[in-house]
């Protein structure tokens, strides 16, 4: 059984065939999905999706750096009031310094810190989005997480895209690393090397659908069934059978979202 740890199934691109997409994922062995809400406008929709699929879906409520200027103190209150076991994380939250993100960096950092404090209050792990911002991200994580947890993870750096040194730093802080479509791209040897150095014990699978399709479907809409292809490519990186990779990443994902406690 595979866990798809990061999907945006609420996206309108899935309006026409959402249930069909879920069936295809189940056929490829995906037993659990975590729906990620990027902005407070999506929180109710994510929770409704999880409630409609309580056996196979959980959700995370966040504030993507693209929406960092929508931060309001009421959001923290809502997160701590909303005690539903289907809400397994706060995220995605983080920093995005790629040119397309127009929210000023100071605004992003302030909102990120506020959401980290809210996650600590709610005692939930975090799902972190980081693009071209590891140099600022890692010190901020250190402010909030002084040492790794005794077991499991503080959260996940979803779609990990940093260097080998970033991978080791995030792992040593107590974070899992999310692996998705880019690991299948032929030119991505540096990413594969960084993930191998970080080690199987901190890796989880995700697709970030509808974004980031793997090599076999580049240019098309991505969907959760692709975690199988991502898992197969990652298994080859470690030189192990796909089943073994699947078991290890599923164990990590269950620890990350505290699904066994
Ligand atoms: Zn993201
Ligand atoms: Zn995402």
How many whole angstroms from 132 Cα to the centroid of ligand 1? 12
69 in Cβ contact with 40 (< 8 Å): no
How many whole angstroms from 72 Cα to the centroid of ligand 2? 21
Low-confidence ranges of the chain (pLDDT < 70): 261
How many whole angstroms from 93 Cα to the centroid of ligand 2? 9
How many whole angstroms from 8 Cα to the centroid of ligand 2? 6
β-partners of residue 203 are 177
pTM comes to: 0.97
Among 45, 49, 123, which Cα is nearest to 83's? 123
Per-residue model confidence (pLDDT) at position 260: 81
Per DSSP, the three-state class of 98 is coil
Output the 3-class SS for 103-169.
Answer: CCHHHHHHHHHHHHHHHHHHCCCEEEEEECCHHHHHHHHHHHCCCCCCCCCCEEEECCCCCHHHHHH
How many whole angstroms from 110 Cα to the centroid of ligand 1? 18
| Nearest ligand to residue 34 Cα | 2
Per-residue model confidence (pLDDT) at position 261: 61
How many whole angstroms from 92 Cα to the centroid of ligand 2? 7
Per-residue model confidence (pLDDT) at position 247: 98
How many whole angstroms from 43 Cα to the centroid of ligand 2? 14
How many whole angstroms from 159 Cα to the centroid of ligand 2? 8
Between CA 28 and CA 53 the distance in angstroms is 18
How many whole angstroms from 198 Cα to the centroid of ligand 1? 20
How many whole angstroms from 156 Cα to the centroid of ligand 1? 11
How many whole angstroms from 161 Cα to the centroid of ligand 2? 13
């Amino acid at each position: 059984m595979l866990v798809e740890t990061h999907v945006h199934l609420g996206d309108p691109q899935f309006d026409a065939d959402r249930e069909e997409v879920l069936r295809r994922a189940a056929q490829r062995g995906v037993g659990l999905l975590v729906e990620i809400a990027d902005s407070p406008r999506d929180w109710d929709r994510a929770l409704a999706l999880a409630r409609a699929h309580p056996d196979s879906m959980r959700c995370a409520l966040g504030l993507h750096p693209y929406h960092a200027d929508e931060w309001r103190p009421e959001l923290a209150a809502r997160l701590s009031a909303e005690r539903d076991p289907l809400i397994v994380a706060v995220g995605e939250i983080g920093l995005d310094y790629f040119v397309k993100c127009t929210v000023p960096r100071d605004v992003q950092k302030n909102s990120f810190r506020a959401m980290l404090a809210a996650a600590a209050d709610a005692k939930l792990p975090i799902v972190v989005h980081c693009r071209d911002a590891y140099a600022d991200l890692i010190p901020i994580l250190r402010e909030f997480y002084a040492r790794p947890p005794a077991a499991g993870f503080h959260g996940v750096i979803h779609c990990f895209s940093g260097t080998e040194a970033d991978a080791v730093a995030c792992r040593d802080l107590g974070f899992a690393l999310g692996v998705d479509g880019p690991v299948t791209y032929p030119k991505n040897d540096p990413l594969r090397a960084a993930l191998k150095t970080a080690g199987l014990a901190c890796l989880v699978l995700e697709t970030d659908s509808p974004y980031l399709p793997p090599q076999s479907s580049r240019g098309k809409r991505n969907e959760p069934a692709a975690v199988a292809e991502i898992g197969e490519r990652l298994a080859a990186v470690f030189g192990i059978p796909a089943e073994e990779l699947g078991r290890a990443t599923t164990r990590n994902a269950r620890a990350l979202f505290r699904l066994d406690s």
